[in-house]
Amino acid sequence: MRIVVLAGGLSPERDVSLSSGSLVANALLDRGHQVVMADVYEGAEIRGDAKDAFLSPDSLFRYSFEIPDQAPDLKILREKHNGRKALIGENILELCSAADVVFIALHGSMGENGQLQAVLECHDIRYTGSDYCGSLLAMDKDLSKKLMRLAGVPTADWVFASATEESMREVRDSVGFPCVIKPIHCGSSVGISIVRSEDEYRTAVREANIYEDLVLAEKMIPGREFSVGILGGEVLPAIEIIPHQGFYDYKNKYQKGLATEICPADINPEQAARLAESALAVHKALRLGSYSRVDFILGPDDIFYCLEANTLPGMTPMSLLPQEAAQIGLTYPELCDRIVRLAFE
């Protein structure tokens, strides 16, 4: 079938997306599909009928994209396009309309907050993953945590944070130090800092404000970190993530050799059952679609606290969902193909 893989975009996570997208495009080509990869912000070149673009896919997308250890400078990208603020580039919707399905390989921003999904639905374009409602609910860390608690899934205490004395006092009194400062709508640990004292607080909030005005302060729960994938309603084996230094930040996520990932995770059957039950409960509470990935911390009290849900899990060489899928016998190309076919169910 004809498939557009949408990647890139005007997001701090665009490099992760380009890596995911190139690998997905390669895998779908190997499965016999006609595939075109496009950067949703930079646009696409169409000569003649848009359907002709699928006949000779550019060999460039046979290569993978290496992720730098720092998030990209979006100001430079905008300047390249004369400061254009429109998030969807030239010919993107025409190209997507000519496809049988769009594989959304974006991360963060419009790819995960529901904006792109809503636009595609307005144009009657089929796409992979969660719809605009589920995407919005999962991307908003405040809303998603409220829904988790309503579903009976534990999550760390949190408050909104700003770089004021009043806000710092509220954070100190309600969640305490150490705490985790994070932008409300970013993924891939972009803009996240662990704050251990009041002296570090303002700097961390200002760094988070580089990416977004709305910032959360979340109680830090020490413990082991796990992730659980959901694919077609099936809970995949959990994976444990062990950073070699610090926490699972942007660099440790995407640079080789900086974290150890154990799948299936080394937990007992009772813990595995509780973790799977919580992951599925979050998936359903947030109205997520054909696949997702839900992240947890196992606290010292043996409780799994949900960190967040990911509607578009990474599909890079270091990503967690492909490792979990491999445990049930799905190769990477088979996983990509399965995600595409789930969009038709």
113 noted as active-site residue = no
Catalytic residue among 191, 248, 314, 324: 314
Catalytic residue among 15, 39, 249, 308: 308
212 noted as active-site residue = no
314 noted as active-site residue = yes
74 token code pair: 């979006």
Catalytic residue among 295, 305, 319, 332: 295
Catalytic residue among 113, 248, 293, 324: 293
Give the C-alpha separation, 188 to 16, whole Å: 8
293 noted as active-site residue = yes
Taking alpha carbons only, the member of 258, 269, 247, 270 closest to residue 194 is 247
49 token code pair: 């009928």
Catalytic residue among 254, 291, 305, 332: 254
233 noted as active-site residue = no
Catalytic residue among 17, 188, 278, 292: 188
299 noted as active-site residue = no
Backbone angles phi, psi at 125, to 5 degrees: -110, 125
295 strand-pairing partners: 227, 308
Backbone angles phi, psi at 331, to 5 degrees: -70, 170
Give the C-alpha separation, 190 to 253, whole Å: 11
Catalytic residue among 8, 9, 11, 13: 13
Furthest-apart CA atoms within the chain: distance in Å: 63
Give the C-alpha separation, 283 to 61, whole Å: 32
59 noted as active-site residue = no
22 noted as active-site residue = no
Catalytic residue among 278, 310, 332, 337: 310
DSSP letters along 215-278, please? EEEEE---SEEEEEEEETTEEPPPEEEEESSSSS-HHHHHSTTSEEEESS-S--HHHHHHHHHH
317 token code pair: 């060489």
- Residues labelled as active-site residues: 13, 188, 254, 293, 295, 308, 310, 314
